[in-house]
Amino acid sequence: MVESGGGGFVGEVCRVLGLASERLAVGVAVVAAGTEEVVYANPYARRVWARFAGGDDPWSYRGYRADGSAYRPEEWPLRRALRLGEVVSAEEISVEFSGGVRGVVALSASPLADRGGAIVGAVLAMFDLTEHRRAEETLRFMAQASRLLSETGLEYERTLEELTRLVVPRLADWCAIDLKTETGIENVGVAHVDPAKVELARMLQARFPPDPHAPTGVPAVIRTGVSQLTEEITDDLIDAVVDDLEMRDLLRELGLRSAIVAPLAAHGDTLGALTLISAEQGRRYTALDVAVAEDLGHRAALSIRNARLYQREYETNRVLQESLIPSQLPEVDGVEFGVFHESAGTGEVGGDFYDAWRTGKETFAVAIGDVQGKGAQAAALTALTRHTLRGASMHDPTPSHVLRMVNHAILSSGLNRFCTVVYIHLLPGDDGLEMTVGLGGHTPPILLRSGGRLERVGAPGTLLGLYPDIRIKERSYYVRPGDITVLWTDGVTDTPGKATRFGEQRLEQTIRRSHSDGDPRRMTETIVSAIRGFGEYGFTDDVAVLSLAVTAQAQASQRGAA
């Protein structure tokens, strides 16, 4: 590069420009026609060139327009000024150098013509927009990242992995997120524009797992909650920090340039670390970038924290929910069940339950119930009711005794809630089942006889858990193959439609017209699809249905046994 041109017109221009532009915050250069030699460049222009001239050949660059199309050599502002005499005014160009360094410059060019009108050179003015555009990009990026993090659901690890892909290549060439676990540090995401390099990073991670006591890097940041900025990653630095020779070579090969490790911190707790590494793009991180990384880390930590709280609640609810229904129904020769249970879509644990269990060698019992309220307290009452039903029926399976025991158990529990229960005790007979029904404040079940006659079974009794003295009446029925008994909770009849509720009349009609041929599964399915079809708002309450029938095989097996 020639600092000032020799003689002639171009030299004169250089001298005048040199005096005027030495301190300008804009790059000014003069290029001679023909040789395209830079005959003058002010300090700003020299700094811009030095910044981009990271590679061996500073002139092997490519320029791109905003629409992504590349500049052909003759399309650059300088060439247009030199060859066509065109005056180019502040064209914004994204420049990428062979080393991968990127930047944004605004270039202006103006031809220099001698007295005869021949173009002898050009003046080039340049303004480095890299930082401005980067700041704008960062703002846009933060908005996007916040949106992503705000949508974090139960699977927050997946959101974090997506976040690493959002970071690359805008904030970094490499991005990794590591989380603190009970046993150490776990990587949840690595991103690089080149998938092969992501594989390499995974391999490195697997072969050299982070030492939680390491004085630098991710473990240190997670331990202390303080960010680390490595402005310049040099070979000496790699040698000083990394002991393993193979690892040193690999790291050198990656061409790492600058790095930030920021904590994922929220509410005084560090949950993990965010690592940003600059390599190919040649970006050198500053304190400003650390602030951006810390902000991002904070937002990520908040969303992890929320997701974990939600996850814990979800898990608790799921376990409680599972306590509402038996994990498996008893296998009783010749008896079949059709069951359905679904909680209202409120996310809270429901209060409806059903159960079926053996009470003796041949006898068994079924129950369905509705506990007042929802949530953990209701679930506690459900568990108490189910366990008392089962326990009491082992000693004395008659409905009057069993329901009285449940009433007593709830009253003395201090839960201050009540429930309604249907309890049915079943004893196999020669050609069917002897069924004894007790109602604790619950709607009487329906018995559909094989001939199509519909009966309501049981006599009204007092609900459980409210009054010390209750009235329970026992009623017995004999059911044969083809008869189906249906028990349900009020979520079925209370299902709201367009103008009215499903109601008991519609339920009776549905059962009468079910064509279930004595199959309790088909009966339950018919009822559930009827309320699904009727309901305008989905299930607004918990719904439980239990159908029960004696199969024809029961007769055979009973006779065979007799």
Partner 1 sequence: MTDLRVETIFGDDRVVVGLTGELDLASIGRARESIATARLHGHLVVLDTRRIEFIDSTGLGLIATTAHELGDDFALIPDERTRRLLELMGMSEHLHLLDGTDDD
Query: In whole angstroms, how close is the CB of 424 to partner 1 at the nearest point?
Result: 17
Residue (444 or 520) nearer to partner 1, CB: 444
Residue (160 or 463) nearer to partner 1, CB: 463
* Coil/strand/helix, residue 153: coil
> What number of other Cβ atoms are within 10 A of residue 221's Cβ?
25
Q: Which of 388, 453, 449, 451 is nearest to 423 (CA)?
A: 388
Query: In whole angstroms, how close is the CB of 400 to partner 1 at the nearest point?
Result: 13
Query: In whole angstroms, how close is the CB of 501 to partner 1 at the nearest point?
Result: 6
CA distance 223 to 397: 61
E strand intervals along 279-317: none
Query: In whole angstroms, how close is the CB of 441 to partner 1 at the nearest point?
Result: 4
Residue (99 or 465) nearer to partner 1, CB: 465
Concatenate the DSSP letters of all residues of 223-273 into one string.
HH---EEES---HHHHHHH---HHHHHHHHHTT--EEEEEEEEETTEEEEE
Residue (478 or 537) nearer to partner 1, CB: 537
Residue (326 or 496) nearer to partner 1, CB: 496
Residue (282 or 491) nearer to partner 1, CB: 491
Q: Which of 191, 235, 193, 243 is nearest to 215 (CA)?
A: 243
Token code pair at residue 203: 């391999």
Residue (42 or 462) nearer to partner 1, CB: 462
| Cis geometry, peptide bond prior to residue 169 (ω within 30 degrees of 0) | yes
Query: In whole angstroms, how close is the CB of 382 to partner 1 at the nearest point?
Result: 14
Token code pair at residue 322: 């599972």
SS3 readout for 324-375: CCCCCCCCCCCEEEEEEEECCCCCCCCCEEEEEEECCCCCEEEEEEEECCCH
Residue (311 or 400) nearer to partner 1, CB: 400
Distance, first Cα to last Cα, the chain: 113
Query: In whole angstroms, how close is the CB of 320 to partner 1 at the nearest point?
Result: 19
Query: In whole angstroms, how close is the CB of 511 to partner 1 at the nearest point?
Result: 19
CA distance 450 to 487: 17
Query: In whole angstroms, how close is the CB of 375 to partner 1 at the nearest point?
Result: 13
- Which residues contact partner 1 (rule: CB under 8 A)? 370, 372-373, 416, 418, 420, 440-444, 460-463, 466-467, 470-471, 490, 494, 496, 501, 537, 540-541
82 touches 64 (CB < 8 A): no
Q: Which of 90, 76, 89, 81 is nearest to 119 (CA)?
A: 81
Identify the DSSP state of 292.
Answer: H
* Coil/strand/helix, residue 212: coil
